[in-house]
Amino acid sequence: MSEFSVVLVEPKYEGNIGAVARAMKNFGVRRLVLVNPPPIGDEARKRAMHGLDVLESAVDFETLEAAIEGADLVVGTSGIDTRNEKKFLRMAVSPKDFAEKVSDMDGKVSILFGREDYGLLNPELMKCDLLVTIPTDPKYPILNVAQAAVIVLYELYRKPAGSVGREASALEKEKLHEAFADLLAATNYPPHKTERTKIMFRRMVGRAVPTKWEFHATMGVLARATKRIKRLESGDGYATQGKPGRIRSKRLRP
């Protein structure tokens, strides 16, 4: 079963923090994380109502990196969505789809909500494995942060936990992304496309929410391909072919 954290990134109004704490109490989510929040006073406590214990146990961090450290899945929320595959930085799933993807996951999930005025910045979105957006009227698509939290947490609450047990950890996930980066480097992938391609791969993996076995199988394929390429390059123009124990040499063409 997943352990969810709600992360409010630089919230401007203490009342919204209290309202989010109340929503978390409604749906059984206890860990509230605040990144550079305003002072917490009577307004936040008043809005928290019976979620006061959630508010008072909130943890503060100065940076987003520290706030999401150790998370197995980092999920950003955005009021802007796109269906254009080339603009994958803003490609998002619905709260319902998100709940279905993580229902059989076993790990720590951080759900990020951005600033009230302009949400999450692009560098912050790049740290996310998955984006969630709430369908709204395009004439006024931006929801209050507490309203957005209610909708996302409701979908998580109504979707019962599955039994598959997707246990790939944050460390394993990063090892997979390192293996993909190594493969890009080994193939001399165009430098000006590298960063965007890494983000695309991260989002693809995030949407898939693979199991531990799937992580290791994919990482093994990438690592094997990278080693093969490096072996060919370091072999002074020779490649080995054939079955194990039966080596043939063949001069590569320029």
User: CA distances (Å), 193 to each of 137, 181, 182, 230, in order?
Assistant: 34, 12, 14, 21
Same domain, 214 and 134: no
67: CATH: 3.40.1280.10
96-135 per-position pLDDT tens digit: 999 988 887 888 999 999 999 889 998 999 889 889 999 8
Is 110 contained in some domain? yes
Same domain, 87 and 181: no
Rounded mean pLDDT, 53-74? 95
Helices 170-186, 212-234: axis angle to 10 degrees equals 30
Is the confidence at residue 254, as pLDDT, over 70? no
List, in sequence order, every beta strand (DSSP E) within 15-169.
31-35, 59-61, 73-77, 108-113, 130-132
Same domain, 126 and 15: yes
Q: Which two tokens stand for residue 56?
A: 């008072």
Is 177 contained in some domain? yes
Q: Which two tokens stand for residue 204?
A: 């693809």
Q: Give pLDDT, residue 244.
A: 44
Same domain, 107 and 27: yes
Total domains, the chain? 2
Q: Which two tokens stand for residue 96?
A: 């319902």
Q: Which two tokens stand for residue 149?
A: 């939290």
Q: Alpha-carbon Rg of the chain, whole angstroms?
A: 22
Q: Which two tokens stand for residue 180?
A: 């993909």
Same domain, 129 and 245: no
Bridging pattern class, strands 248-251 and 130-132: unpaired
Is 99 contained in some domain? yes
Is 192 contained in some domain? yes
Is the confidence at residue 248, as pLDDT, over 60? no
Q: Give pLDDT, residue 246.
A: 45
Is 196 contained in some domain? yes
Q: How confident is the model at residue 88 (pLDDT cuts 50, 70, 90)?
A: low
Is 163 contained in some domain? no
Same domain, 122 and 182: no
Q: What is the DSSP string of 140-198?
A: S-PPPHHHHHHHHHHHHHHS---SS-B---HHHHHHHHHHHHHHHHHTT--HHHHHHHH
- CA 130 – CA 193 distance, rounded (Å): 20
Same domain, 185 and 61: no
Backbone CA torsion sign across 203, 207, 208, 213? positive
Is 243 contained in some domain? yes
Same domain, 148 and 182: no
158-203 per-position pLDDT tens digit: 876 655 555 556 777 777 878 888 888 888 888 888 888 888 888 7
Is 164 contained in some domain? no
Out of 158, 186, 220, pick the residue that ends a domain: 158
* Domain span including residue 230: 170-251
Same domain, 199 and 112: no
Is the confidence at residue 80, as pLDDT, over 80? no
Out of 111, 138, 158, pick the residue that ends a domain: 158
pLDDT over 90, % of the chain = 42
Largest CA distance in the chain: 77
